[in-house]
Amino acid sequence: MMTSDLAKVVAVASLAKAGTAIANDEAKFTFQTPQTLVAHQIYDLHTVILGICILIAIVVFAFMFYAIVRHRRSVGHQAKQFDTNTPVQILWTLIPCLIVVGMAFPATRTVIAMKDTSAPDMTIKVTGYQWKWRYDYLGEDVSFYSGLLTPRDQIENQAPKGENYLLEVDNPLVVPVGKKVRILVTANDVIHSWWVPAFGVKQDAIPGFVRDSWFKVDTPGVYRGQCAELCGKEHGFMPIVVEALPENQYKTWLAEQQTKNKVASAAAGAAAGRTYTLDELKTEGEKVYGRSCVACHQANGQGLPGAFPALAHGAITTGPIAGHVDIVLNGSKKNPAMAAWKDQLSDLELAAVITYERNAFGNTQGDILQPSDIAAARK
């Protein structure tokens, strides 16, 4: 590796830095600062049980090291030939039993509290996708996707990494403080896990099933987490960001979203009626491709042999257009990795990306798909 010398220098420098960071930042050694009742309970539970465990370890190791130092042949210690002691054995079976029961008590309380999703102030449906999240504010007519914002060149070491590297999203989940928020968690493709450490919430998102959890944040702020269940190659790149706002600001935000949705659907309606040129569609399609398709099919359309098919000179991208529309809208039955995009993308986006795929990477189909064609295909 040509950078190995540099790496060594960095290693030494960073070890030195780690030393000072350790002194300054206590939070590095334990859980993130808890922000909800459940997270507080978990934090305290961990502290108490860790304390008990350390105590037990100290006692056990004290005996062991005493024997190692004092009962060794090199200091002339003679072995005493005993191999049983019933009272001691009963004692060291009973005491751990009591300790374990003592630990189980407070933990039970927290388990019950965590599962108590009754009487929420609001409910948000959280859906995991490869590889982003979708949030639906039930009854509010607000829903959006939330994906990684960190630019690819930071990940590829082409640009300096920002402060919230890999922990920043385009559309954070916004919630009001002081309200009990119930989340319904599910997934669209594979299992994901919605995790915000500061809330003490980690709920697997299981396709086809809905599980729930809840949190009530007390302090306004931005809280960050990551997907916690391996969900494919971009598993490390689907963070969760929750912005907790005071209630009035939340209301404003919600109203803004609702207006934005109305404007967007009006625009989509207008878009559906319009006829686009090939260049317009290709320009728009390239953007959609960069957001939704590039992770698997790659920037050059070559895919990854064996896992993700190539679009360049592909059977579908150069075949009949109806087959192409079908697989993008409804996903592939043969290869479950190909998702159904009809709910994730608008008519215009779908028309644009399909047109782009048929006229990029060396494909020269020359055919144009209009949003109205997609609308027809949806029926």
Partner 1 sequence: MSTPLTLAGDAEHLDHPQGIRRWLTSTNHKDIGTLYLWFSFTMFIVGGIMALIIRAELFQPGLQVVRPELFNELTTMHGLIMLFGAFMPAFVGFANWQIPLMIGAPDMAFPRLNNFSFWLLPPAALLLVSSFFVPGGATGSGWTLYPPLSVQMGPGMDMAIFAIHILGVSSIIGSINIITTILNMRAPGMTLMKMPMFVWGWLVTAYMLILVMPVLAGAVTMLLTDRHFGTHFFNAAGGGDPVLFQHIFWFFGHPEVYILILPGFGIISQVIPTFARKPLFGYRSMVFAMCAIGIVSVVVWAHHMFTVGMPVAGQLWFMYASLLVGVPTGVKVFNWIATMWEGSLSFETPMLFAVGFIFVFVVGGMTGIILAIAPVDIQMQDTYYVVAHFHYVMVAGSLFAMFAGTYYWLPKWTGHMVDETLGRWHFWLSMIFFNLTFFVMHFLGLAGMPRRIPDYPLQFADFNMIASIGAFGFGLTQLLFLYTVIKCIRGGKPASARVWDGATGLEWTLPSPPPHHTFETPPVVT
Residue 294: CB minimum distance to partner 1, A: 13
Measured CA angle at 378 (ends 377, 379), to 5 deg: 90
SS3 118: coil
Shortest Å, Cβ 65 to partner 1: 9
Q: Which is nearer to partner 1, 225 or 301 (CB)?
A: 225
Q: Which is nearer to partner 1, 230 or 299 (CB)?
A: 230
Report strand pairing: 173-176 vs 122-129: unpaired
27 burial level (CB within 10 Å; 0-12, 13-18, 19+): exposed
> 42 vs 142, which CB is nearer to partner 1?
42
DSSP 3-state of 10: helix
The residue (of 3 and 277) whose beta carbon lies closer to partner 1 is: 3
Residue 379 to residue 374: CA distance in whole angstroms: 9
**Nearest distance, CB of residue 27 and partner 1, angstroms:** 7
Question: Which of 155/278 has CB closer to partner 1?
Answer: 155
Chain position carrying tokens 């960190």: 150
Long-range Cβ contacts of 339-346 (<8 Å, 24+ apart): 339/129, 339/130, 339/188, 339/189, 341/292, 342/378, 344/129, 344/134, 344/145, 344/292, 345/288, 345/292, 346/268, 346/271, 346/371
Rounded least distance, CB 260 to partner 1, Å: 30
CB of 217 to partner 1, least distance (A): 16
Q: Which is nearer to partner 1, 114 or 368 (CB)?
A: 114
- DSSP string over 263-324: HHHHHHHHHHHS---HHHHHHHHHHHHHHHTHHHH-TTS--BTTTB---TT-TTTTS-HHHH
Smallest gap from Cβ 173 to partner 1, in A, equals 17
Minimum distance, C-beta of residue 38 to partner 1, in the bound complex (Å): 7
Choice between 103 and 268, CB closer to partner 1: 103
